[in-house]
Amino acid sequence: MLRRLLTQTSSPRRLLSSKTPFFSKPSLSPFSSLPSSPDPPSSASSHVEESGSSAAAGTTISVDRSALFNPPDHSHEPTPDSELVKHLKSVIKFRGGPISVAEYMEEVLTNPRSGYYMNRDVFGAQGDFITSPEVSQMFGEMIGVWTVCLWEQMGKPERVNLIELGPGRGTLMVDLLRGTSKFRNFTESLHIHLVECSPALQKLQHQNLKCTDESSSEKKAISSLAGTPVHWHSTLEEVPSGVPTIIIAHEFYDALPVHQFQKSPRGWCEKMVDVGEDSQFRFVLSPQPTPAALYLVKRSTWATPEEREKLEHVEISPKSMDLTQEIAKRIGSDGGGALIIDYGKDGIISDSLQAIREHKFVNILDDPGSADLSAYVDFPSIKHSAEEASENVSVHGPMTQSQFLGSLGINFRVDALLQNCDDEQAESLRSGYWRLVGDGEAPFWEGPDEQTPIGMGERYLAMAIVNRNQGTPAPFQ
Ligand code: SAH
């Protein structure tokens, strides 16, 4: 079935999207002279950011968010407090004590007025970090293959809610819709629901999905890419249930707040954020037990004895556990499945929270709101949370992104695309392919060292939660 889906996947209109930021502006121009194709032009060929990208793009190293333990750049120059810093300090002051790392992370990323994600596009060469859908069109296309396979296993329902959590620029969904456009029964069944907290990114998704508004409500539109209704929500709970559902969460879990615990002579203490006498943020250990300790206890019951023995630090994400329960209950009662892809571990996470600004690792407490914060995803905790929430679901994986995309047939896809491109486009495809499925530095790279593509294939993991009636999803068989 996979082979058939791949051969029918729509042709490579955006092949050259040069989503890899290794290109300077002049090198983008060949994309506009691609051979004509029956497929509608995809958004990336008209990306506002990319068409405006300058020669600087050619010298930017694109950092994905998985590389851990990178020594951050420290900047100690005093700067006036931003609105977010003032807000965080006032919360700490009025609370009369430090706040958890999770609360800090949540404020920094999603504070409605000045959270990191709320007011801008943060992706790509001009932003802070790069994600797989932005690396290559093949990523969204392969997710499309996975989605059609699941829909077939679900008995080809006439109506499906396709929910994406944290769609960023909307690129994955654009590629999925273009790639599956020949499966008319599938695309006609879709009602797309985008769960996105950022008004700025909602706008960008609306634009990239080529939406026209239905009535005057901006929260509901029709994407002209596949004639599909698109709705926006700020939480999963807001998405109507009672309909067979497919959920995609790519690099969403890593943005959910984590609590950090540290072993001390007093036992396990939660790490908190306080303001020091120099008026700078600093980490302190909580003097007494905190409510999140309940989740620590729960998580430790899922850990192996070896894990428990070795640990000095633990990171847990109650928000991720709660979200997974909501996903599992929905899938358990409505049918369908969820695909979670993120960087993380098939084990308990020790100390992974990191901050990235302009493709560099920076100190977590420096100038909050100006850098992305993200943490490794704890896949066993997702598995156990799902199994605990519903008897009607089964959990598959995690497997590496490389295995996942490889088993879905990305090799056939790249070969097909390579048949119809020039040298520059072929280089873009090959480096994109390496970044998606390779491990470490690309061996074939002949360009400047600092632009060597780094494979994300082993550091990113894929997991599926499906309704038991659907059997085992591809490619976890
Ligand atoms: N999936 C995209 C973007 C990943 S970045 C990609 O792979 O390119 C994380 C995305 O989740 C952003 O769109 C961000 O605005 C959104 N997001 C982060 N925290 C959120 C929350 N608590 N609720 C809803 N959306 C959130």
Per residue in 132-156, pLDDT tens? 999 999 999 999 999 999 999 999 9
Radius of gyration of the chain (CA): 22
In this predicted model, which residue has the larger pLDDT, 328 or 72? 328
In this predicted model, which residue has the larger pLDDT, 260 or 20? 260
Contact present, 386 and 395 (Cβ < 8 Å): yes
Q: How far is the CA of 277 from the centre of ligand 1 (A)?
A: 35
Residue-wise DSSP of 413-464: HHHHHHTT--HHHHHHHHHHHHHHH-EEE-TT--S-GGG--EEETTTEEEEE
pLDDT at 76 over 60: no
- Whole-number pLDDT of residue 445: 86
Residue nearest to ligand 1 atom 10, measured at CA: 166
Using DSSP, state whether 348 is helix, strand or coil.
Answer: coil
Q: How far is the CA of 308 from the centre of ligand 1 (A)?
A: 31
Angle between helices 410-418 and 423-437 (to 10 degrees): 170
Q: What is the mean pLDDT of residues 209-217?
A: 78
Q: What pTM does this model have? A: 0.88
CB-based contacts of 414, cutoff 8 Å, min separation 6? 138, 429, 430, 433
- Whole-number pLDDT of residue 122: 87
pLDDT at 32 over 60: no
- Whole-number pLDDT of residue 9: 62
pLDDT at 298 over 90: yes
Q: How far is the CA of 373 from the centre of ligand 1 (A)?
A: 12
Q: What is the mean pLDDT of residues 32-59?
A: 28
- Whole-number pLDDT of residue 120: 86
- Whole-number pLDDT of residue 78: 64
Residue nearest to ligand 1 atom 21, measured at CA: 197
Other Cβ atoms closer than 10 A to 52: 10
- Among 116-125, 173-182, 286-295, the range scoring the smallest mean pLDDT is 116-125
Counting ligand 1 atoms within 8 A of each CB, the residue from 63, 129, 196 with the most, and so the one to mutate, is 196
Q: How far is the CA of 165 from the centre of ligand 1 (A)?
A: 7
Q: Which residues line ligand 1 (CB under 6 A)?
A: 109-110, 117, 123, 131, 133-134, 166-168, 195-198, 201, 250-252, 255
* Cis-peptide into 475, omega within 30 deg: yes
Instruction: Tell me the pLDDT band of 220, cut-offs 50, 70 and 90.
Output: confident
Q: How far is the CA of 110 from the centre of ligand 1 (A)?
A: 10
The backbone region for 140, taken as left when phi is positive above 0, alpha when psi lies in -120 to 50, beta otherwise, is alpha
pLDDT at 476 over 50: yes
pLDDT at 51 over 70: no
Which residue, 380, 269, 272, 271, is CA-closest to 320?
380
pLDDT at 69 over 60: no
Instruction: Tell me the pLDDT band of 6, cut-offs 50, 70 and 90.
Output: low
- Whole-number pLDDT of residue 34: 23
Nearest atom of ligand 1 to the alpha carbon of 122: 5
Residues present in the chain in total: 477
Mean pLDDT estimate for the chain: 86
- In this structure, is the dihedral angle defined by the CA atoms of residues 147, 129, 68 and 319, taken in order, positive or negative? negative
Q: What percent of the chain has pLDDT over 90?
A: 73
Q: What percent of the chain has pLDDT over 70?
A: 83
List, in sequence order, every residue forming a beta bridge with 232; answer none if it has no partner. 194
- Whole-number pLDDT of residue 25: 19
Using DSSP, state whether 223 is helix, strand or coil.
Answer: strand
Residue nearest to ligand 1 atom 14, measured at CA: 166
pLDDT at 7 over 80: no
Q: How far is the CA of 101 from the centre of ligand 1 (A)?
A: 19
Using DSSP, state whether 17 is helix, strand or coil.
Answer: coil
- Among 32-36, 299-303, 332-336, 378-382, the range scoring the smallest mean pLDDT is 32-36
Q: What are the tokens at 413?
A: 């896809």
Nearest atom of ligand 1 to the alpha carbon of 254: 9
C-alpha count within 13 angstroms, C-beta hemisphere, residue 128:
19
